[in-house]
Amino acid sequence: MTPLLIEALRTPAALAAFTPAQCDLVLRQAERAQLLASLHARARDAGVLGRLPAPARRQLEWARQEGERHLQAVRWEVRQIRQALAGLGVPLILLKGGAYAMAGLAAAEGRIFSDIDILVPRAALADVESALMLHGWAGAGHDDYDQHYYRRWMHELPPLRHVRRGTVIDVHHAILPSTAAAHPDAMLLRAAAEPLPGYPASGSLPPLYTLGAVDMILHSATHLLYESEFDHGLRNLVDIDRLLHEFSSLPGFWLRLTDRAAMLQLQRPLFYALRHAARLLHTPVPAAVLEANAAARPGPAVLALMDALLERALLPQHASCDGPLSKLARQILYLRGNWLRMPPWLLARHLFHKALLTPLQAARTRDV
């Protein structure tokens, strides 16, 4: 049975026919998926807000206001990051939610996220980290193992949290670790980055950029399919759906998307993202595009397994949506995400440390 939230995301006008009990349930599902404010936007655009029960309208209006406050806070925080990096001569490329917000994309409306992601050249990491620390950001409570793991193997620095505001920034030098199965060239991503209108270099302030349109979708697909935790899986798929709706009218978009996926070695995550956006959210993906990306299609057995896993893991993590195999599906995808990001010997070492040594060290710290 299709969850009510999925029905509402596919056809927002269907909300008008929901009973009060169904409205209550769909709001609970949306809250768990961090999609309440997005649901408000879809109901508004479909012209059905006024036909919902009053309690549902009030909750969606509250979510809208929270979403607007969040966008204002993100824009202010990006200004602080820009000022912190003034004088370094490093272009500031925003990723994911921060990019959607600053570019005014539809994917930003109602999107709630906990950190701001930026992409900088690897050679600039030390200077960027030092500048951010001088402006109040510091390591967010990671132990020595995590610090070493991030700096040796990952595609980003350990998250930095502002000591007063509590805001978090993730500084990336790539979109996947060097140990991952795919190796998208970060230089190609930076070279195709697009300047944000209204934010050119100004004095010592760096210009602001986002990834190009097709790269933005490929990064979102990569984040979704290489993710080891699916708490935000549906929200990330909704991002892809909204980006595709917004960008698909650009000249030559679909051909550029498939060609770019091949260039960046990201055909497989794009295949799964397009397939499940179309299957779950009814995103209009041309059949020819899926066929053009057929080289990324796994064998029938693997495809059937991945379909079964993703169809469960991408649903809202709410009791009304969970089946007997939902938790197992998320656990298998967690292992898959880690497997794709690192070789077996490193994965075994990492999981052993996180499962056994990290809890022991935390217990010793509490006892001191």
pTM of the model: 0.90
Position 339 scores a pLDDT of 83
Query: Is residue 126 pLDDT above 50, yes or no?
Result: yes
Query: Is residue 368 pLDDT above 50, yes or no?
Result: no
Cα gap 86→91, rounded to integer Å: 10
Which regions of the chain does DSSP assign to beta strands (E)? Answer: 92-95, 115-119, 137-139, 160-162, 168-172, 194-195, 208-210
SS3 103: helix
Structural domains in the chain, CATH included, are: 4-352 (3.30.460.40)
**Paired tokens of 86:** 């003034």
The number of residues in the chain equals 368
Per-residue pLDDT tens digits for 187-238: 999 999 999 998 998 888 999 999 999 999 999 999 998 876 788 899 999 9
Position 345 scores a pLDDT of 63
Per-residue pLDDT tens digits for 291-350: 877 778 889 999 999 999 999 999 999 999 998 999 999 999 988 888 887 766 666 666
Query: Is residue 363 pLDDT above 70, yes or no?
Result: no
User: Does the CA dihedral 243-245-246-251 come out positive or negative?
Assistant: positive
Average pLDDT, the chain: 89
Query: Is residue 361 pLDDT above 70, yes or no?
Result: no
The strands making up 115-119's β-sheet, listed across from edge to edge, are 137-139, 160-162, 168-172, 115-119, 92-95, 208-210, 194-195
| CB-based contact 308:205 (threshold 8 Å) | no
Cα gap 139→309, rounded to integer Å: 35
